[in-house]
Chains A and B, each alone.
Chain A
Amino acid sequence: MNCLEFRREKLSDPNSRNEELSAHGAECASCRTFESSLHGLDDGIRDALDVKVPEGLAARVLLNQSLQPRRRLTTVRPRWIGVAAAVVLSAVISLALFTGPPQPDLNRRLIAHVQHEHPAPDALMLSQAHLQQVLYSVGAESEALPGRVLYATSCIIEGQLVAHLIVRHGDAEYVLILVPGEPASHESTLQTASWKGLVEPHPLGNLALLEASTASTNELHTAQMRQIVQQYGNAIRSRTI
């Protein structure tokens, strides 16, 4: 084994106990220093993220998923246990870095986001486990949402982790975005040439409902959107695990 192979292996797994690695490390001071620096990096990560995943997380994730009325149990796989832990920890990193008061230009950012991130219809796909992951990533969960969720993903809007869903409600499709953080003091509407929507304060932050439409907003339509966003708002709650 040469130094390049040693370093490549150690970068993948600093704790590897491969005998060839040990033999090379014993005779190469430079590689021992490199290995030591990798252990230092991993120690630094543990210190920087000194957050424990709640005990029993995996069991509760699976229990939660089994309670979903439309859940197909065949999709429950042990691999979600670890992935859920990684997603939760990733979300903690994001929240630690970017939690703060709402930006005054939230509506502008939402519009910019949906204009650039709206998935093509053939990209729509969803499993219940994936939906739960997306909600978990912003500190939320839901046992059942009022409409049919077609798509869900975790996105970052200018440094803020959000849950981006596409839902079908009646005959219409809407974009639903949960932006965690401090709730706005009041509801606001937004409209561009191609989008209109409503942003409602929510216990977890702000919940936006947007619809691709060139029609102008009227009071009846705003009231309908308000009713829909409030139904989703009531169904989405703070994560309990």
Chain B
Amino acid sequence: MPGSNVEFDSRPEAMALRTALHKLPAKYREPLILQVLEGYTLDDIAGFFGLPRNTVATRLHRARQKLRAQLEHNDRDTG
């Protein structure tokens, strides 16, 4: 099974972050992954998706806001 032999960080905070990322709509998650993991610039990502730079900036902004909100929500639930 592809991917099943990949070992992931199993700490609860990493699990929570992966779950929060999975819950993000793809339009937010994919630019975020390209920026954070691949180091692409806003202009690069806008070019990949054929979108205006401002649209990508807004999606990245919302992606981080949603992630932070989800993680804070988790903290409240478990705290």
Residues on A close to B: CB < 8 A? 8, 11-13, 37-38, 41-42, 44-51, 53, 78-83, 85-87, 89-97, 99, 139, 180-182, 204-205, 238-239
User: Can you report 26 A-B residue pairs in the complex whose CB atoms are below 8 A from each other?
Assistant: A8-B61, A11-B61, A11-B64, A12-B57, A12-B58, A12-B61, A13-B42, A41-B67, A48-B13, A48-B14, A49-B18, A51-B6, A81-B48, A83-B49, A85-B33, A87-B30, A90-B29, A92-B3, A96-B3, A96-B6, A99-B4, A139-B1, A180-B1, A182-B1, A204-B1, A205-B1
Chain B, residues 54-69, CB within 8 Å of chain A (1/0): the string is 0001101100110110
Least Cβ–Cβ distance between B48 and chain A, in angstroms = 4
Q: Among B36, B45, B50, point to the contact of A46 (Cβ < 8 A).
A: B36
Of the candidates A44, A95, A182, the one having the most CB atoms from chain B within 10 angstroms of its own CB is: A44
Tally of B interface residues using CB under 8 Å: 44
B35 touches A13 (CB 8 A): yes
Q: What total of A-B pairs shows CB separation below 8 Å? A: 122
A89 touches B33 (CB 8 A): yes
